[in-house]
Structure 1
Amino acid sequence: MISTVFLNKSPNIVLMITFALMLIVSLILDQKYTWFKYTQLIFLGAFHYTSHLNWSISLYYIMILYLIQHKVRFRDTIPVAFLVILQYSLIRLSYVPTTTYNLLVTVYDMITSIVIILLFHVIVRIETERRQLTKQNNYLTDHDTLTGFNNYVGFIKKIQKNIDTKKEFWVVMFDINNFKSLNAKGIINANEILINFSLALQERFPNHLGASRYSGDHFALILPPTEQIDDKLKFGNLGIQVTFSITHFPQEADTFQQLIQIGEDRIYQMRREYWLNRQEEQLRTDKMKMVGELAAGMAHEIRNPLTSIKGFIQLSQNSGYNIQPWYEVIMGEISRVSELTVEFLQFSKPHVSNMKLEIIANSMMRVYSLCESEALSYGHYIEMEATNQDIMVWMDRDKIIQVLINLIRNAIQAMERAGHIQFILRREGNMAVIQVRDNGKGIPLNGLDRIFDPFYTTKEDGTGLGLSLCQKIIEDHNGNITVESEVGVGTLFTVHLPMYQE
């Protein structure tokens, strides 16, 4: 504009200055009055026409960029750029001679404007992608992609932000108790559970100050002090069991570390109570199931001999049949019922009442002396091996002898031909280990899982309570009994009992 005045190119300097000022005012006020945008190109053209300055094209380029700054697509910016450059070219041709050179300059100006637009779009696209990547990276740093909640990092920032306000709030932490069992059904099902739970939290607590899934199935909410909490913390309709804790700022904690620590401790205590209650309930269920199985088994075992006895009596009553020749059979069935009753009573109350410090090898020698003659009568022999004669155990001697006799007799009866029974005592760490091995017919694989079940037996005259009773006695001594077997090779029973520690 100054050069125009000094070079005396403007036909009307006052108008030129007026249009320049109007252009500047429109640029300043267009943020407040949007209609000024439509006058800027007019004021620029008027300024150009009154100044006769070719360098006004730089103002036109700036105007193009200003007008297309919010247009994303290239095809939307071409018409704007074309109109602006067309205006510049027409005004320029109005005060310069219409020569080939000036026409070429006009074409050059139009091509330059297109190049500027292309460069503008390239720069805008690169910057847009950079901002999107930065925004996405910032989002992923602070958020959980599955639920949209804050992750642990974002959760800490939210808590700290609320702490900085010095206003009171609640931190409610959640843990899905049965998530592992639900997760076993598959990743898709597990993700669906987490998403549904997050949606439920958003629906029930729309005024939360922050929501987080900060670890696996652990969620947390930051709630204002006016929020009604207790009546919204049941999630049975989602098919999940949730443990939660509530911590208040600043009454209970004044740092985010304390808030999280107190909340996690309370979650742990509630989960512990939940699992203890669940185990107790499961134990009651198992006991009732066991009682039912025992009752059914006992009824079945007693019914068979009673049916035989009843048959003989009915035959004698109805036909005058002399049952005296069958007295021995009848008495045998009665004895069987009596034996079943005794074993059942022992099984139902296998309490260890006479605990003393005993040398376990002495009890094994007692069993060996009691069972050796019986084994020899079947053509078997027992080999006892007790290298650690000094092993001492707190035990009820009679009960342990009862267990070992039962195992030896089972081994004797398991071998159809002359066989060999190994009766071994050894030490494993702090445990006394007693093994009874035979080379009999072995136990089928489908029978091993049930070998200690009440009333399960493979013997024709067995009650099925012997091994169950053995297991209970050993468990009452804080030990355990296991079995290994291979059909056609033999069976090995192993008893572990804790040794006496001085």
Structure 2
Amino acid sequence: MFFRLMYHVVLPLYVGFILLSTISLGKDLNHVLLIIAGVTFIGSILIEPKFPRYLALFSTLQVTLLVFLHWFSQLNWCYSLYIILLSKLLFQHTLKVMKATFLGFVVITLYTMIRLSYTPSHLSSFFAIASDFLTSLAVVLIIQYIVEMEQQKNRLKEEKLRDEMRFENEKMKLLGELAAGLAHEIRNPLAIIQGFLQHSKTRSFNIEPWYELIYGEVERMNSLTVEFLQFAKPNPSAFDLIQVHHCLEKVRLLTETKSIHLGHRMIYTEFNENLFCRMDLDKMLQVLVNMINNALEAMDNKGTVTVKLSKDTQDAVIEIQDTGRGIHDKDLQDIFHPFFTTKTNGTGLGLSICQKIVQDHGGTIQVKSKLQQGTTFTIRLPLGDVA
């Protein structure tokens, strides 16, 4: 919009002002040629966008026409037209600083040659020439800076667009994997139920002895679909500024009974009460309860689950450490993948859901493990500003 106003409104008005003032002052060499040069110059500016392939030709034509306009008008005010045209050329043609400076000097040299043809040469004229060249240098450097900033901004926009497209592709790929995995997982219990029903129908069997099995398979399908729906992005409006310590205290109360029942000990230590994060409390409770339940189930013998809360620069750091059997190195890179599980009755969606919820909160989740020594999950959440 700025360039359209500059070159399609301001520039024609200034040329009109040059024509009017030249004719009024009676300084022009030829009225007709002056008007033709001015009108043709403006015409070339206005029609140039329609012929982008001939940009260099139009640029050369415009410089030539401006020289003629200056020659016929014999007004120093044409200097502004040279500066405006120079800025237009620099914006249109991507040039290095040295080439842009050279172009600026060429344009101002043309102006100086025409100016010297109708003004007497004395000391002040040479100082004026030096001033014109310094002004052109300043204009070139300023415009080059603006062009580089615009190019950098465009590069950042392109990178952001590529990242967004990459993210969308990865999301679609993940959804495809989830859909395929869910279909595969649901097909097995459906096949079992279908087999029992067909068998009972053809032989008139009473299926009551298999009620529990059939019900268990239906529950398994229900569990799969419920966990699959957990991948829905949390509603940002449900995010509140919550004390992380308060959240962990709730988690401790929710998991303490299971810990005692399994004969394990749970320790909540090294906590910082002054850490607040923006979160969906229900979703975060779901993550932390899932993580601690996994830790409790990973310990075959009596063990300890240690929960720590600390601060690292701008993040709240939650560590959940168990003394269980650990995770094989070959499995560590897959544990967050949907439907990957080492449990006989697991769906393989729990950790995937936890990772997604943490990422939706702007955080990260990492894992370290050693066989027969235990596993540590580390969750980082960005701290919120407390008003």
TM-score where L is the length of structure 2: 0.62
Cα gap change, 1:296/1:456 in structure 2, threshold over 3 Å: closer, same or farther? same
- Asked if structure 2 preserves the Cα contact closer than 8 Å seen for 1:253 and 1:259, the reply is no
Match of 1:351 among 211, 235, 242: 235
1:339 is paired with a residue whose SS is helix
Identity between Structure 1 and Structure 2 (%): 41
**Alpha-carbon separation, structure 2, partners of 1:486 and 1:401:** 26
**Alpha-carbon separation, structure 1, partners of 2:273 and 2:143:** 59
- Asked if structure 2 preserves the Cα contact closer than 8 Å seen for 1:352 and 1:399, the reply is no
- Asked if structure 1 preserves the Cα contact closer than 8 Å seen for 2:287 and 2:354, the reply is yes
Cα gap change, 1:255/1:310 in structure 2, threshold over 3 Å: closer, same or farther? same
Matched, 1:419 2:360: no
- Deviation larger for 348-357 or 444-453: 348-357
Match of 2:290 among 403, 406, 412: 406
> What's the offset of the Cα at 1:393?
2.9
Map 1:17-416; keep pairs closer than 5 Å: 159-166=100-107, 256-258=140-142, 260-416=144-300
- Asked if structure 2 preserves the Cα contact closer than 8 Å seen for 1:350 and 1:472, the reply is no
> What's the offset of the Cα at 1:254?
7.4
- Asked if structure 1 preserves the Cα contact closer than 8 Å seen for 2:245 and 2:271, the reply is no
Cα gap change, 1:160/1:384 in structure 2, threshold over 3 Å: closer, same or farther? closer
Q: C-alpha root-mean-square deviation of aligned residues, in Å?
A: 2.7
**Alpha-carbon separation, structure 2, partners of 1:405 and 1:495:** 13
Match of 2:333 among 446, 449, 462: 449
2:343 is paired with a residue whose SS is coil
- Asked if structure 2 preserves the Cα contact closer than 8 Å seen for 1:350 and 1:469, the reply is no
TM-score where L is the length of structure 1: 0.49
**Alpha-carbon separation, structure 2, partners of 1:307 and 1:325:** 18
Alignment: residue pair count: 267
2:272 is paired with a residue whose SS is coil
Which protein is richer in helix relative to its size? Answer: 2
**Alpha-carbon separation, structure 1, partners of 2:167 and 2:240:** 30
- Asked if structure 2 preserves the Cα contact closer than 8 Å seen for 1:344 and 1:465, the reply is yes
- Asked if structure 2 preserves the Cα contact closer than 8 Å seen for 1:423 and 1:434, the reply is yes
**Alpha-carbon separation, structure 1, partners of 2:241 and 2:140:** 56
Match of 1:436 among 315, 320, 331: 320
Higher RCO, 1 vs 2 (CA within 8 Å, ≥6 residues apart):
2
Residue deviations 1:280-331 (CA, integer Å, cap 9, x gap): 3222211211111111111111111111111111211223333211110100
- Asked if structure 1 preserves the Cα contact closer than 8 Å seen for 2:104 and 2:137, the reply is no
- Deviation larger for 340-349 or 297-306: 340-349
**Alpha-carbon separation, structure 2, partners of 1:494 and 1:413:** 18
- Asked if structure 2 preserves the Cα contact closer than 8 Å seen for 1:347 and 1:465, the reply is no
2:107 is paired with a residue whose SS is coil
1:347 is paired with a residue whose SS is coil
Cα gap change, 1:268/1:332 in structure 2, threshold over 3 Å: closer, same or farther? same
- Asked if structure 1 preserves the Cα contact closer than 8 Å seen for 2:101 and 2:137, the reply is no
**Alpha-carbon separation, structure 2, partners of 1:354 and 1:340:** 25
2:273 is paired with a residue whose SS is coil
- Asked if structure 1 preserves the Cα contact closer than 8 Å seen for 2:264 and 2:303, the reply is yes
Stretches of structure 2 lacking an aligned partner (at least 5 in a row): 1-94, 111-135
